[in-house]
Structures are given as structure tokens and as C-alpha cells.
Structure 1
Amino acid sequence: MRQDPLSQKIDWISVLLFAVLVIAGWLNIYAAEYDPEINQSIFDFSTRAGRQLIWIFATIAIVFTIFFFDYKFFDSFAYIIYGIFIVLLLFILIGGKEVAGSKSWVGIGGFGLQPSEFAKFATAFALAKYLDHTTRKLTNLNTLGVAFAIILLPMVLTVLQGDTGTALVFVALIVPMFREGMPPLLPIVGLSVLAVFLLTLLVSQTVLLAGIAVVTLLAMGLNARQPKRLLYIITSAVVITFAVRSVDFILTDVLKPHQQKRVLSLINPNIDPLGAGWNVTQSKIAIGSGGFAGKGFLEGTQTKFDFVPEQTTDFIFCTIGEEHGWLGSILLLALFTTLLLRLVFLAERQKSTFSRIYGYGVVGIIFFHFTVNIAMTIGLFPVIGIPLPFFSYGGSSLWAFTILLFSFLKLDAHRMQVLQRW
């Protein structure tokens, strides 16, 4: 039977969306640092746009390398890949290079790489490998515990490096766990704890605890004859109560001063308008000033005068909002939404459990980055310093997302073949 060439099996829709996002990101990095007085070229390698172009060419080499590997490589070496990056994260704690308050970089010549960015896809591989077993069900506490341990290990190591934002991204791997049958109560309780944490900053703890007690008693009354549900209700109430009581400890003893200010600025942007609140305030001004169709490419006044810090990285969305307006912002949202929906479609058509779980891991990580990054720029989420996928300036981010995505596209290209381990 004749085998179709790999080029006919690759999902070119995803590849096209990837290419559009990368090129649009490159153009907007140029726009974000453009100085009309200097009028530097987009191909000037001394600028961020020029360096990003170098990393884009390197990305092409990465894509061809991934397609060169046998598709069984990712499954067979999942634990080894995970172990390598755990060792790298441990090494960073000892000999890492500190950048912007985070000791999460390793210097290579004149460049720096951030292993925690690459640890995301390594963790997604390890999780998929572990759950790709007929006897391991996420309704089983042992299986659930090991799965969470796989996620928590790199997450804790990243927190110890001082990079809380990147550490939070690992939470996105709950998406494939939920798809594979994790009880819905766990993510519900997690979201409830987050909501209660934010409410505690707005409402008196006494009032909040009284409300939790009332809701718990009502729920227990409605489920008095169902012991299992009663256990869930009581456990959830204890966890949420603990979350309320621990808010002060987290704010004062866990978060660093600048992180405390970012959280408090989310509740009250005027608490530190020239400090923690400056980025978000200027970001919203830039986006709002773009109006319906924007000011035009390279015409952003907020951008030209450097009002928004980190505009080529964490706040790159501001450039879209100011120079391309509501239309450009909606187009960018549409591109990311289309890519995510396409990846969900690809994940669901996998014959291999490993490929499906990994595919949903890709969806979860990209979705988290996309939603949180844009929410940061418009003041709906604390500034935690995570890039917009394929769009923000940075070699580590671009390469890590490329490996994350194209490893899955490689698996999808062989979806009709039985995934046998080496």
C-alpha cells in the first residue's frame, strides 16, 4: 500500500496560522521599538526586531528537525525529556543568571535561554506518557496524586527561581486531565478558591466566612441523605475556608513586594499609579487610543514615546490595539481562537491516547498564555510577566512554543498509525 508523503499529512491550517502569528508578531515588535528620528531598518540585527528575525529563521530549522524525528520518539523518551529539564531547573537554582528579579536564565555566549519555558512541553509529554495506560484512571486517588506531582515538581522549582508567572502556566495542564476524566469537583474547587482569594481582598473576612457557612449549611441540608456528597461539601468548605484565612499570609510572606503591589493594583489601580499600576494604566490608554481602526502602522504615539514598558514582550498587545484598533485586536483574537479550536479538533481525532492527552496539553498551555497575557494588558489580571504565544519578543518563548506545537503536529501526521513504543 502506497504511503502518502509527510507533506500531505501535516495539518497545513495550523502551520499557516502559526506563520501568520509569527510574522505579525515580528512586525509589531518592530513597530513597538520604532523610532522615527532614527528610522532604523526592520532587518537591523542590533534591534529587537532584527534579533527576532534571527530566531524566526532558527525556528524554521527547529520545525524541520522535529519532522525529521520518528513520531514514536516523543512517547518513548517522554520521561527522559522531562528528567533533563528537571535537572536544568535544579541547576538554574544554583548557577542561573538573574534577569528582572528572576533567577531563571542560563547564559549561552551572548544569549540567554529560559529552561522553564521548555519545561512546559516536557511536562506535557511526561503527563501524557503517565496517563497513557489503561489501568490509570483519574478517578483513582493514586493516579491523580502522581499526575499532580508531575505538574507540581517543575512548577515549584520555577517558583523557587522567582518566576511565579511562568510557574502558574503549569496549572493549564489540568485541561488534559479534565478531558481524561478527572472529577469536575477539583477544578471547580480550584476556581472557587481563586474567586474567594480575590473576594477576600474586597470583602471583610468575617463577612466572607459567614457567607461560606450559610452556603455550606444549605448545601448540606439539600444533600442530607447522600453521604458521599456531604463529604465533598464539607471538604470543599474546609479548603475554601483555609484559602480565606491564608490570604494575609500569602500576601505578606509568600509574594514579593512588587507582586503584592500587582495583586492590589488589580483591585485598586490607583493604589500605586506611578509604580505597579503604571504599566496597566498606560497599556489601557494605548489600546483605547486606537479607536475602531487604529492610528496606522508605526503611527502609535504611546509606543513612540515609550509610555508602556516591556511593550515588545509582555505588553505587545498594546501595539495592536493602538496602531490597528478594535479591528486589529479582533483579528488577533480570531486568529488565536481559530488555532485553539483547530488544535482541539486535531486532539479529538487522535487514535493514540498519548497524542490526544499531549494535544490537550498544547491547547491548555497556549490558551492560558493567550488569555492571561491579554487580560494583563487590559487590567483584568495581575501583571505576572508571561508572553503572548508566537507573538512576543524572545527566542526562548518562540522556540518553546514552536516545539510544543509542532511536536503535536508531527504526532497528528501519524495519527492513523498505532503508536508502538521503541
Structure 2
Amino acid sequence: MSNYNNHNQRSFFFNVDWVMVFLYLALCTIGWFNIHAAVYDEKHPSIIDISTVYGKQFIYIMVGIVVGMIILLLESRFLAALAPAFYAITTLLLLVVLVIGKNVGGNQAWINMGGGFRLQPSEFAKFSTCLLLARYLSSVNVKVTELKSFAIVAAIILVPMLLIKLQPDDGSTLVFFSLIFVLYREGLSPYFLVTIATTIILFITSQLYNEYYIAGIIIAITTLIAYLNKRNRQTIFKALVAGIVCIGFVLVAKPIYNHGLKQHQRARIDVVLGITSDTRGVGYNQNQSKIAIGSGRLWGKGYLKGTQTKYAFVPEQSTDFIFCTVGEEWGFAGSVVVLGLYLFLLLRIIFIAERQRAPFTRIYGYGVASIIFFHVIINIAMAIGVMPVIGIPLPLISYGGSSLISFTILIFVLIKLDSNRMGII
């Protein structure tokens, strides 16, 4: 029996993807040091001073490591079996936060835990949604291309989205749209992705140019497609329907934009699109962030030497705009290192997902990759001014206990499931 246990322990050790563990620790460490730089207080110079933000982040990292180790000791089947329970708990917490939640920055998204610590249920809802989605899609006779299965999948994703929207936390709401990549991997038609991309392009261009000019271009493209396929009536019909739908959307896009979005949301989008310039108002954060990143040049100003950072020109610099600290103090070179680590992490997650025998782990892996990808792209795009500010953290780097612990759970559950990859869940 002793030899059997020793064999299992050795197998567990070698099956754990230590590359993923290393990437996790590297990003957490980078985040910790950059949070220290972003809100450095000369009266509290120690990076582990728990009376400071960076000291609290150290505690969150330690808690995250403990949580990760506990997950690795769990039984893989236990995680899959309790997916509905995890989903039910986070859904309940999303309902509770609407009643007793603390309002911070206009969002009622936090539950006070005492001692200055707060819980943000929306962060953990990402994990539970990924887990339940994997559980359902890996079930026998479930095909995302069938209407019934697609409706259930949509319900799984939409329930937390709608509850988070009520907070209202637009950034966290939009994160759930990234799960479309999971559905695409599991057989959803690529036309869904094309439709989404086309809708975004038409929406943006309709704000920049006269809608009748855009409609004219669509008519010209539709006519050209019809002419090139004049012997294929089915293709001509599809082109005409698509053209009519696109023109209809363009004609209503501006009214939807003007009346469907709040004034501050329109203002942020207008600044990004270059329709207006407001460097002292709604565009202040992004303008200061771009100045900070640009001032870092190639090698950066050095640790704790960033002037934009030191004099607190950028609001929310330890959370939403943490990347500008990386850019200012570590320069282009440091930014490339951070982006390289994220790219390596995403590629590793996809590699892990594709080597699975169990559909459950593969689907869950793609969910993790989709959420991390969305967070990284949108957060950095906000920092460099090519996306409107919607307030989502940079995974494992931004300050915040709920964010760090939720990403820890997302990643370590995948590591645990992968360690049992020769089994079938």
C-alpha cells in the first residue's frame, strides 16, 4: 500500500503542469511590484506592510497560493459534480449583492466582509459559468448547433450577465460575451463570429460617417456579389438578405447609440473614436495613461521612478490602469515581457485544452482562455486609448482580492483537471 501511495504522489507531481504554475507566480509577482510602484507611500516603504494596498495584495497572493494548493489536492470528479452547486451559489451572491451590496464608483458590486476586505461575486461568477458550461456541453447528446441545447447554453451565460448588468457593472457583463469562442470551438457556426464582427464594424462606422454613404457602399458590395454569382440564385438571395439587414442596422445604429446608451458611456466612446477631445474631463484618465506609457520609452524610467505614477496623475492606477505603470517604469521592453507572458499563458491553456481526452476539461480550458484573453485585450486597449473605459482588471496584475482569487481558481482548476488528463470525466 505504501508503494502504491508513493507512486500516486509521484504521478501527481509529474502530471501537474508546472509551466502554468510558473506563469501564474510570475504574473502575480509582477503585479505585486507594480502595485507597490503605483501607490508607493514613503511613510510605508515595506512592500509587505499590510496597512497599505501593496501589503494587502501580498496577503491576497498568499491566500491565492493556498487556494491553488487546496484545489490541486481535490478530486477532479468532485469539481465536475459540483458545477451546478457552484453556479447556484454565485447566482445567489449576485442576487444578495443587489440588496445589501456596497456601492463603489457607481456599481453596487461588493459585499463587505469586515476588516476592510470586500467580496465581488461577479468575479467568481466567471468561474462557475465556465464550469457549468463545460459540464452541460460535455453531456451525452448535447450539441450546441441544436436549438434546445443552444437555448440552455444561452441561459447559462445570460443569467449571471443580466444580474451583473443590474449592478450595473458593464465591464464584467461584457466579459461573458467572450464565451462565444468556446461555443465556436464546440461546433457553433462561424457565421456567428462573422455576424458579431460585422455588427461592431457597422456600429463604429455609422458613428463616424453619414449612414447614407455607408448604405450606398453596402448596396454596391451586394450588387457586386450578386453579379459575380449570377448563376447561383441561393447565394444572390443570401447576399440580398444580408445587404438589407446591414442597411437596416446602419439606419437605426445612431438612434440606438444616442438613446440607448448613457451620456457618460457615449462620451467615452466619442473620445476613443476621435469624435470629441476631452483631455480634462471624460478623457483625462486615458490621456494621462498614454502620457505615462509613452514617457517610459524603450527601457522605462526605473522602479519607483515614474513621475506620472509618483505624482498620481493617473486615477485607478493600481487597478484598471496598472499597465501604464508597467509602461512608464519598465518601458516598451517591460511591456513586451508582460504581453509575452500573457501570450505564453494563453497558448499554454489552449495546448492543455487540446491534449485532453475528456471533453469537460477541453471545454473548461477554452472558457478560461476566452475570459483571460478578453480581460487582457480590453484592459490594455483601455490603457493605450483604443477602447473606451469599462473598468475590468488586468488578470493577476491589477490590485484586488476578488479578482486575483477568482483567476487563481480558474487557472488551478484547469491545472488540476489536466493532471488527471488520462481519465475521462
Same fold per superposition (TM over 0.5): yes
> Quick one: distance in 1 between partners of 2:287 and 2:310?
17
> How do 1:203-222 and structure 2 match up within 5 A?
203-222=209-228
Partners of 2:373 and 2:27 in 1: CA distance = 14
CA contact (8 A) 2:95 2:163 kept: yes
Give the alignment partner of residue 244 of structure 1, picking from 236, 245, 250: 250
Q: What is the alpha-carbon distance in structure 2 between the residues aligned to residue 158 and residue 241 of structure 1?
A: 32
* Other structure's SS at 1:354 match: helix
- Aligned equivalent of 2:264: 258
Question: 1:94, 1:243 → 2: CA distance?
Answer: 37
- Structure 1 residue 190: deviation in Å? 0.3
CA change 1:77–1:378 in 2 (3 A) is: same
- Give the direction of change, closer, same or farther, for the CA distance of 1:184–1:230 in structure 2 (3 Å limit): farther
**3-state SS of the aligned residue for 2:196?**
helix
Distance across 2 between alignment mates of 1:414 and 1:281? 48
**Which deviates the most, 109-118 or 408-417?**
109-118
- Measured on the aligned residues, the alpha-carbon RMSD in Å equals 1.9
State the 1:235 CA deviation: 5.3
Kindly tell me: are residues 325 and 196 of structure 1, through their superposed partners in 2, closer, same or farther at Cα, counting changes over 3 Å?
A: same
The aligned counterpart of 2:381 is: 375
2:290 alignment counterpart = 284
Q: State the AA in 2 paired with 1:76.
A: A
Q: What is the Cα deviation at residue 270 of structure 1?
A: 5.0
Unaligned runs of at least 5 residues, structure 1? none
State which of 91, 94, 100 in structure 2 corresponds to 1:89.
94
Which residue pairs with 2:172 in the alignment? 166
**1:9-28, CA deviations, whole angstroms, 9 ceiling, x for partnerless residues?**
11000100100000110000
Question: Residue 266 of structure 1 aligns to a residue in which SS?
Answer: helix
Q: Contact 1:376 / 1:383 at 8 angstroms: preserved in 2?
A: yes
Tell me, in whole angstroms, the C-alpha distance in 1 between the residues paired with 2:92 and 2:237.
40
* 1:220 Cα offset (Å): 4.0
Give distance in 2, aligned partners of 1:238 and 1:151: 30
CA gap of 1:149–1:229, structure 2 versus 1, over 3 A, is farther
* Paired positions, count: 418
Q: Give yes or no for the alignment of 1:394 onto 2:394.
A: no
1:418/1:231 CA distance change after superposition, 3 Å: farther
Structure 2 vs 1, CA of residues 13 and 211 (structure 1 numbering), >3 Å: closer, same or farther? same
- 1:73 and 2:71 equivalent? no
Moved more, 89-98 or 174-183: 89-98
* Residues 1:17 and 2:10 are matched in the alignment: no
Deviation at 1:411, TM superposition (A): 0.3
2:207–2:254 CA contact under 8 A, matched in 1 = no
* TM-score using structure 1 length: 0.94
What residue is the counterpart of 2:346 in the other structure?
A: 340
Q: Corresponding residue for 1:120?
A: 126
Aligned 1:225-374 pairs, distance under 5 A: 229=235, 233=239, 236-237=242-243, 239-268=245-274, 270-374=276-380
Tell me by how many angstroms 1:403 deviates: 0.5
Offset of residue 208 of structure 1: 1.6
Residue in 2 that maps onto 1:57: 62
Higher mean Cα deviation, 80-89 or 313-322? Answer: 80-89
Give the residue type in structure 2 aligned to 1:100. Answer: G
Cα pair distance change 1:389/1:236, threshold 3 Å: farther
The CA deviation at 1:126 is 1.4
Which residue of 108, 111, 115 maps to 1:106? 111
Q: How far does residue 69 in structure 1 lie from its aligned partner after superposition? A: 1.9
Query: Structure 1 residue 303: deviation in Å?
Result: 0.4
What are the equivalent positions in structure 2 for 1:155-194 lying under 5 Å apart?
Answer: 155-194=161-200
* 8 Å Cα contact 1:189/1:236 also seen in 2: no
CA deviation after TM superposition for structure 1 residue 127, in Å: 1.2
State the alpha-carbon separation in 2 of the partners of residues 226 and 147 from structure 1. Answer: 35
SS in 2 for 1:72: helix
Question: Residues 35 and 97 of structure 1: is their aligned pair in 2 closer, same or farther, counting only changes over 3 Å?
Answer: closer
Structure 2 residue ranges without an equivalent (≥5): none
Residue type of the partner of 1:58? Answer: V
* Structure 1 residue 234: Cα displacement: 5.0
Q: Which moved more, 1:406-415 or 1:207-216?
A: 207-216
| SS of residue matched to 1:271 | coil
8 Å CA contact 1:22, 1:391 repeated in 2 = yes
For the structure 1 residues 222 and 29, does the alpha-carbon distance in structure 2 shift closer, same or farther, using more than 3 Å as the test? Answer: same
Range moving further from structure 2, 128-137 or 394-403: 128-137
- The answer to whether the 8 Å contact 2:97/2:110 transfers is yes
CA distance in 2, matches of 1:331, 1:197: 34
Asked if structure 2 preserves the Cα contact closer than 8 Å seen for 1:269 and 1:277, the reply is no
Distance in 1 of aligned mates of 2:275 and 2:394: 23
Amino acid at match of 1:102: N
CA distance in 2, matches of 1:283, 1:407: 34
- Deviation larger for 39-48 or 16-25: 39-48
Distance in 2 (CA, whole Å) between partners of 1:243 and 1:81 is 39
Cα distance change on mapping 1:233 and 1:257 into 2, 3 Å = same
